[in-house]
Structure 1
Amino acid sequence: MSDDGQLQVVRGTPDDVELAALVAGIMAAATAAPLDPPAAPRAAWSDRRRQLRPVPSAAPGADSWRWSLRG
């Protein structure tokens, strides 16, 4: 693109169909909706995964009653 906003073919001889495809692609890219802004980070307190019990890591044993209410 030149400084005044016009396109200039610098090499080759494109036909009318090729130029129309180029202009259509540039116009589609220029009018595309911007990407959504990134979502604000969520607080750890609102994360529902904290309310779930973790997967038991140890097999039940003699001391399993001590850990039964932790989770």
Structure 2
Amino acid sequence: MSVHAPEEGSGEAQRPPTIEITRGSASEEELAALIAVVSDAYAQEAAEAVVEEPVVSAWTRTQRPLRRSLRRDIPWGRFSG
């Protein structure tokens, strides 16, 4: 059995995933059970895959650092002594 899901960037995004039985023969009840289990797992994975966007306030967006951090790799006066 193989399951083919459309790629995100491809034009196949409107097509539903397909299931292809490559060996043996399955009864209608077995196929119905397989489709139910795979559909449920697919729906759960899709629901959990959503990334929540962090909330950024207007103050955080407009805030800028007061100065750049000090470079600790350059000694004082550039003398390595």
Q: TM tier, shorter chain?
A: 0.3 to 0.5
Give me the TM-score of the superposition, normalised by structure 1.
Answer: 0.41
Structure having greater relative contact order (Cα 8 Å, sep ≥ 6)? 2
